[in-house]
Amino acid sequence: MKRATTKVLLAFALLFGGAAYAQPGAPTPAFPADGAVKVGLNENLIWNNTFTVDSFRLQISTDTSFNTLVLDTTQGANILYKLRKGLLSNYVNYYWRVQGIDMIGAGPWSARSTFRTIDNLPLAPALLKPTNNFKNTPVFPDFIWANVPRAINFQIQLSATQGFTDTLRIDSVLNSGKNVLEFSYDTLKIGTTYFWRMRSENEAGWGAWSNVFSFESSFFPPTKPKLLAPADGSVNQYLTPTFDWTTSDQTTRYRIIVATDHNLTSIVYSDSSDKNSVLWFQDNNRLLNPSTTYHWTVAAGNDDNFYSRNSDTFSFTTSAINPPQRPVNLTPKTASVQHSRRPTFTWTETGPYPADSFYLHISTFNSFTDTARLVGTTTPTYTIPNNSPIMFDKVHYWRVVAKNDGGFSPWSYYWNLTTSINNPDVNAFTAKLYPNPATTSTSFEFELKQAQTVRIAVTDISGREVLEVYSGKLDASKHNIAINVAELPAGNYYTVISGADAMQAIPFIKQ
């Protein structure tokens, strides 16, 4: 029935002035202008039309071919369409077109027009650090705030007045994505209250200022360290490198970061407990990758957990060679008793990466916090020399590390040995000491079976030498040397005589 009615009306129109019902021409999009940006989500779409129409068809799409439609609607002859809430999304390029429809049919589509949406002005950033009314702030603090979605810029202001009426100490615009601001040491003064605030910007413009926070600058944090080694841009570095930097004032710890990128986001090592200004990766059994570029930085901290600025960031590239694997100790066997103060230490290599040198470490503590001897050798054996034997009547711990152009191996598992004080095989001297106990002096009497160079000294019970008595060549005969002990504190001591192939220690008491 509707089809028949339409035909009758069309015939009537043609008979009595059909020109009024000719197929309409294309409308012209008017608002938003083609290419407009920062268009609100609930704006009006407006177009111009000079033709008689019964209705308009409107299409909105996210692609230029109108294959992905977000709206396809027909309305009356009104040349305005109000975008309903929830139809469009923020930060999207949209394309729209419109056509007129009358009783003849649909006219041609208008030219395609495009616009980009934007939401409301951004919220103010939430201020995180320094917290409001904080009294213990360093004179060059970090300002930290929460990010704001879709913000493209932040503005931060710092003032000595709450109304920001004085000369601003800071008035900076920062790119989005950076939510930490650093500035120089001399920006703030100790014992001064400061005020800070922020705002953010998106495509719609600048938002409102945040609440104003205050803080008091009260101390100087540690000074920024300077990196020493590995040098910036250095190559062929050990896979077990030694990191070295300058010490800083008012510092109790250092924070080191090692990463594979300059921004220090791909972190391979991070530690903030080290109290030394040198870190040897070998001590931590850590191994970097061969032929890899690394970046590192250090900050100095104090007991209040405040840190200096990070140092400059240095980079280095590791060697293509892998370091040796852990050596294995051979002799002296662990827990053995050595009747010589000149034992021979032996060990062996393991693994596929050969060593070109070794270091033998001997200590009187299994933590190796002291060093009785640290020597390098190119062979897996070392004999203690005549002129510097290890301490007598003492437990010693020893370990070995292997090295090549790739770096250092882990230390071998430590073994221990005990040096004996009484051994007939090495007591080549016939010696006695009198009086014993002694008060001001004592006589050391001994006999040499052959001429030789000898050294006589007094040590305390830990083996530490406290008095050199004699050093030189003596003939084969009996000798008597007076030892002045008047300046020694009361206690237990040893008189030690050592020669080319023997040594003897005689205990005595100083009263």
pLDDT number for residue 285: 62
Mean pLDDT is lowest, of 90-94, 324-328, 461-465, for 461-465
Q: Does domain 22-117 sit in CATH 2.40.128.20?
A: no
Average pLDDT, the chain: 85
pLDDT number for residue 461: 66
What gap in Å lies between CA 402 and CA 409, rounded to an integer? 5
> Tokens 């690394």 belong to which residue?
294
C-beta separation of 38 from 121 below 8 A: no
Look at residue 344 and tell me whether its pLDDT is greater than 80: yes
Q: Which CATH number fits domain 430-510: 3.40.30.10, 3.30.565.10, 3.40.47.10, 2.60.40.2550?
A: 2.60.40.2550
Question: Where are the strands (E) in 76-133, listed by range?
Answer: 80-82, 93-101, 113-117, 127-129
pLDDT number for residue 389: 65
- CATH level 3 topology of 227-318: Immunoglobulin-like (2.60.40)
Look at residue 3 and tell me whether its pLDDT is greater than 50: no
Domain range annotation of the chain: 22-117, 127-219, 227-318, 328-419, 430-510
Look at residue 393 and tell me whether its pLDDT is greater than 80: no
Q: Which CATH number fits domain 127-219: 2.60.40.10, 2.40.50.100, 3.30.870.10, 2.30.30.40?
A: 2.60.40.10
pLDDT number for residue 266: 95
Beta strand pairing status for 69-75 and 55-61?
antiparallel
Look at residue 139 and tell me whether its pLDDT is greater than 70: yes
CB atoms within 10 A of CB 328: 13
pLDDT number for residue 381: 93
- Which of 2-6, 95-99, 186-190 tops mean pLDDT? 95-99
> Confidence class of residue 502 from pLDDT cuts 50, 70 and 90?
low
Residue 106 DSSP code: B
Q: Three-class SS of residue 8? A: helix
CATH hierarchy code of domain 328-419: 2.60.40.10
Tell me the residue type at 451: A
> Tokens 């040590």 belong to which residue?
459
Residue 6 DSSP code: H
Same fold, 227-318 and 328-419: yes
Look at residue 87 and tell me whether its pLDDT is greater than 60: yes
> Confidence class of residue 15 from pLDDT cuts 50, 70 and 90?
very low
Look at residue 13 and tell me whether its pLDDT is greater than 70: no
Q: What mean pLDDT comes out for the span 108-125?
A: 89
